[in-house]
Structure 1
Amino acid sequence: MKSTKDKIIDAAVFCLNRNEKASVDEIANHLDLNRRTIHRYFKDRNTLIECCQEKMMTTCNRAMNEAYDSSNEALIQVENMFYAALLIGSEYSFVKKLYNRSGYSDVVKSEVEVYDNVKNKWFKLIEVLQEKGTIKSTIPIPWIYNLFGGMIDIAIAAQASGDVAVNDTKLLSWTAFKGSIGIINQSDENKK
């Protein structure tokens, strides 16, 4: 059973995804609590948002590691990491806007950080795929990294706007991403 603190964080994520300016009162109302109960656990709205961000990063880290461990094939690992990022990005869309992705050089330098460890794994997969010729080696890895995050953002925006069916978002966004970095499946090639 979830603790009251976890329930408050979940409610905050839900409310803030619908309205980024949702107040502590709106979050409390969503849970049928009063504001004082929330303030027993969180000093203020900013502290609550920081906890939401922390939960998102923990959830994302776990999901990305599971995706990485899902296969021994680099391309499947990258695809599964893409889907994990899309799912987490959708679930925590308001928090994601507050979190700034660090640059490639920062990630490579700080291998000891838990979150950067996932990014380092991702970068190494891209390096392997470039060495194999699966991804064009002329495309810099920092570009691919930003494209990966950007495609996630585009997919979330398209899904939220209702312009693209939720069921189509996953396939369309992966197809667009892999095409943009030069990956062509053998089955795609045979269709030409």
Structure 2
Amino acid sequence: MKDTEQSIIEAAILIFNEDLSAPLEKVAEKAETTRRTLHRYFKDRKELMQRCEKEIRRSCAIAMTQAYNSSEDPVIQLENMFYAGIQCGTKHTFLHKLHQLHDHAHETSNKDCVKFEQTFQLWNSHLKLLQTTGLISAHLSSEWIQNLYNGIVTACIASQNQTQMNQQDVKKFAWFSFSRGIGI
């Protein structure tokens, strides 16, 4: 039962990342199930979207924490966290899309905004540490660095979808671009 539920969530993330208004039939088809089965697990689109967000926050937070704990060297920690973000790929970009919808105003009193910030708290605090220690250019705002990172993750996803590109090359190109862009 959990495999079907998880397949639906993963399919929804992929489908909705491309088109937030895609029909649930398309999600069911991607999950290789029926719409009827989809509704056994999720009563409606809103509930499915909420579960997608929860899954994304959980998996991205785990990946970032593991990457951070993989080294004592702050630059290697950043590089590994960067790769974890790329590994989260579509999940990462989808979470940002959901959080930046046209009718969304980011507020610290909004519980969804708080959860969003907590997902990236380790990443953001590590960037600030690297800036205060001079390992990253202090001329760049954290918002700029985050937007640069999001753009590179999006470029990685597009490149990975092109079968002629070697996946290891994509990761190397991405880190090269990001690290040079922030002054490492």
TM-score by length of 2: 0.75
Contact 1:70 1:77 in 2 (8 A): yes
Q: Which residue is 2:152 aligned to?
A: 151
**Alpha-carbon distance between aligned partners in 2 of 1:137 and 1:118, rounded to the nearest angstrom:** 23
Select the structure of larger CA radius of gyration.
1
Displacement of 1:9: 1.8
Structure 1 residues 164 and 100: CA distance shift in structure 2, 3 A: farther
Structure-to-structure mapping, 1:33-72, within 5 angstroms: 33-72=33-72
Change in 2 beyond 3 A, CA 1:158/1:77: same
Q: How far 1:148 sits from its partner (Å)?
A: 1.7
Could you tell me the percent identity over the aligned residues? 33
User: Which sits farther off after the overlay, 135-144 or 76-85?
Assistant: 135-144
Q: Aligned in 2, Cα 1:83/1:12: closer, same or farther, shift over 3 Å?
A: same
C-alpha deviations, 1:132-177, integer Å up to 9, x for none?
Answer: 3221222222222221222212222233345743231111001000
* Distance 1:72-1:40 versus aligned 2 partners, 3 A rule: same
More displaced, 174-183 or 62-71? 62-71
The AA in structure 2 aligned to 1:59 is: S
Paired residue for 2:177? Answer: 176
Change (3 A) 1:150 1:40: same
Kept in 2, the 8 Å contact 1:89–1:96? The answer is: no
Give the secondary structure class of the aligned counterpart of 1:53: helix
Q: Which residue identity lines up with residue 35 of structure 2 in the other structure?
A: R
1:114 to 1:52, Cα distance in 2 relative to 1, 3 A: closer
How high is the TM-score relative to the length of structure 1?
A: 0.72
Kindly indicate whether the alpha-carbon contact (under 8 Å) linking 2:17 and 2:94 is maintained by their aligned counterparts in 1. Answer: no
1:1-192 alignment runs, 5 A limit: 2-14=2-14, 16=15, 20=19, 22-31=22-31, 33-90=33-90, 92=91, 95-96=94-95, 98-100=97-99, 113=114, 115-161=116-162, 164-183=165-184
Query: Deviations along 1:70-124, whole A, 9 cap, x unmatched?
Result: 222211111111111111124x3773463336xxx978xx9xx455345333233
- Unaligned segments of structure 1, at least 5 residues: 184-192
Deviation at 1:22, TM superposition (A): 4.8
Aligned residue pairs, count: 176
CA shift for structure 1 position 60 = 0.7
Q: Residue 56 of structure 2 contacts residue 92 of structure 2 at CA under 8 Å; is this kept in 1?
A: no
> Which letter maps to 1:128?
L
Cα separation, partners in 2 of 1:166 and 1:61, compared to 1, 3 Å? same
- The one-letter code of the counterpart of 1:137 is A
CA separation in 1, counterparts of 2:119 and 2:47? 25
Instruction: Give me the whole-angstrom Cα distance separating, in 1, the residues matched to 2:169 and 2:48.
Output: 33
